[in-house]
A and B are shown apart, each in its own frame.
Chain A
Amino acid sequence: MARPITPFLWLLFSAGGTVAALLFPVHLFLSGLAFPLGWLPAPRYESLHSLVEHPLTRLYLLVLVSLPLFHWAHRFRYTLYDGLQLKHLTALIAVLCYGAAVIGSVLAAYTLWSI
């Protein structure tokens, strides 16, 4: 199957990997551990809400959710092929992985748009 979109998918994989590598550790540490466990004072609802009202923050959050999902779709797809030897399910796995990333991105865009 000739696939002219492969370089594009690889670009999404690589951009998403970079976004996740640079920004996920700090977000995960703060919102997943430091704030819930009370190690650091969590921002209040009002201040977060006003932060998210800024268009730049929305764009940032869309990038922060969407690109790493495409990174996952690409990497997990090949993990399934190689790790579980599922080469015969290529098309199905690709549709499920990229489909999930598209759905997550659309949901993020819609939510951010309607805040």
Chain B
Amino acid sequence: MSAGVRYTLYHPRWYRRRVSVWWWLQSRSYTGFVLRELTSVFVALFALVLLWQIRALAHGPEAYARFLDRLRSPLFVAFHAVALLFVLFHSFTWFNLAPKAMVVRLKGKRVPDLVVAGANYAAWVVLSAAVAALLLRG
């Protein structure tokens, strides 16, 4: 410490480099991270479409037919095409992170990451098939 420290009434201005709002475009892994976080926006939007569908279903056949008509518009088809890509990105990143987020131990030994992720993918296939079978019955 130098002896010449003087106290002033004012807090000193710290030197802090301003980070651009676009910091996440500077590296591929940062961009991947932000895209992964943005999948949540499409998850929420599709949850709202589901809610809209449930409400149309509750309001009767005419309301439901109007809902189906809307979904056939190019705007909604385009939205769903983009949303599917983001939701799939969410699924892949989620399943691949699962072994890191939740360490499973069996008889004191850590279950390998590949097995945990594999179990997630297997559950995904089974559940998707079940939902499709239920909706395609007629």
Provide the residues of chain A in CB contact with B50, threshold 8 Å.
27, 31, 61, 64-65
Task: Using C-beta atoms within 8 Å of the partner chain, give the interface range for chain A.
Answer: 35 or more
User: How far is B76's CA from A112's CA once the two chains are assembled, in angstroms?
Assistant: 24
A89 in the interface (beta carbon within 8 A): no
Closest-by-CB residue of B relative to A58 is B54
A69 in the interface (beta carbon within 8 A): yes
Given contacts A76-B44, A104-B48, 10 further A-B contacts (CB under 8 A): A21-B94, A21-B120, A25-B124, A30-B136, A31-B49, A32-B49, A37-B77, A69-B44, A73-B44, A79-B37
Chain B interface residues (CB < 8 Å from chain A): 19, 21, 24, 34, 37-38, 40-41, 43-44, 46-51, 53-55, 57-58, 61, 64-65, 68, 71-72, 76-77, 79-81, 83-84, 87-88, 90-91, 94-95, 101, 120, 123-124, 127-128, 131-132, 134-138
